[in-house]
Structure 1
Amino acid sequence: MYRQLMGLRQLSRRTIASSARRQVENTVKEKQKLFQEDNGMPIHLKGGSKDAVLYRATMALTVFGTGYVVYSLLSASMPKKP
């Protein structure tokens, strides 16, 4: 049993160490050009449609949360009628 565990350990170590790494292209220069471009667009929306969707979802959740907090505070401050 111990020999099998040691063999498995050696196999996993060899697989991880010898696996070929995928080369990723460096896109920092393109991103810098995109975000430093002066086109009148706010920085948090320059990433494209994904940024716009995330921004709108965040704003919707913020407005909904604020409304719910105000509703909860108003309902807690009003006494219940018997």
Structure 2
Amino acid sequence: MDTIKRWKQERRLFVVSITVLAIIFYLALPLSLSVIPDTMNKPAIANVSWAWIYAFMQVLMTWLIGWVYWIKAKQLDKLVDRIKQEEAE
């Protein structure tokens, strides 16, 4: 029973934290474009503006979130296997 509680707590903590992080990260681009458009449109590297760099970082962040989720899902699957073993005993 403790394993089930642990699984639920870990899953909830992970899902809530990654969701909050993603929402903040993805909403920061439109907010920064509306609040500080001059800064976001300035060239950062060569002729690429900060807005384009941030947009590209969102693609990388999507891949990173997917990778972290994959790793966490493997860990949670191990807990589920333990729960199944406990139930079988």
Q: TM-score, normalised by structure 2?
A: 0.35
Q: Which of the two has greater strand per residue?
A: 2
Structure in which a larger fraction of residues adopt helix: 2
Larger RCO, structure (CA 8 Å, separation 6 or more): 2
Q: Which has the larger radius of gyration?
A: 1
